[in-house]
Amino acid sequence: MILTTQTVGEIAAAQPGTIRVFQEHGIDFCCGGGRRLGEVCVERALDARALVNALEEAAASPAGELRNWSASGLTALTRHIVSHYHQPLRSELDRVGALMDKVRRVHGERHPEVVEMARAFERLRDDLGPHMMKEERVLFPYVVRLEELEEEGAGLAGSPFGSVENPIAVMVQEHEAAGEILAELRQQSGGFVPPADACNSFRGLYHGLFEMERELHEHIHLENNVLFPRAVALETLLGARVRTA
């Protein structure tokens, strides 16, 4: 049963099939996942009962590739994030970036919104590259080590971060910045709807941006609402083992 007192992030984490419904209604389930469903319905003037019914129907349907990672190992989850989201995103940033440059050069004078979009996209690309590198080289290896210590039955006397909550707070802040740029791109493009005179490259650009937004929302949700809270809880557990030893 889905309740309006649950947060959007909790619902999406426990029932991945609901993510499509949130996307269809434009409800932020990643960066804004801490908000209660009832509050979101009031703010967006949505019929809460109808939305809950749609969410429960989606939750009961096969979720496709949106696997429920809430009970999976953290090592497996970090590997999934890197292989399923980080690596494809790097390729898409290059591909969509090349399309953006072409469309801006050819159509920028007639469609000045593309010039603004190109500036926003450049910020997004510049932010996401270092962000993913920090996760892969620093945060994720530490999370993997936490899980190894748990499996060994060992404790944790301390960490290089003071607490994993510190780097996580930075990652969440950077997620929010990326979310703001995505919202900016959506607004500038009129919801990624190409103009009537759009050529195939123009249409391909808007489709690529739409798909990138969808994938990034799922990606950020897995980190903010599944990986990060579990990493904090595991670090706390391992620290308690040391204190009671």
Neighbouring C-alpha atoms within 13 Å toward the C-beta of 66: 23
Distances (CA, A) of 168 to 37, 146, 147, 185, 203: 24, 14, 17, 26, 36
pLDDT for res 234: 95
Please name the residue that has the structure tokens 């010039």.
115
pLDDT for res 115: 96
As a whole number of angstroms, the distance between CA 223 and CA 136 comes to 13
pLDDT for res 62: 59
Identify the segments of the chain with pLDDT beneath 50. 63-64
Q: Do 211 and 66 form a contact (C-beta atoms < 8 A)?
A: no
36 phi, psi to nearest 5 deg: -75, 145
25-56 burial, b at 16+ Cβ within 10 Å, e below that, comes to eebbbbbbbeebbeebbeeeeeeeeebbebbb
Which sequence spans correspond to the domains of the chain? 8-60, 74-244
pLDDT for res 39: 94
pLDDT tens for residues 168-223? 999 999 999 999 999 999 999 999 999 999 999 999 999 999 999 999 999 999 99
pLDDT for res 66: 63
Q: Counting Cβ atoms within 10 Å, is residue 215 exposed (0-12), middle (13-18) or buried (19+)?
A: middle
Helix (H) or strand (E) holding 158: none
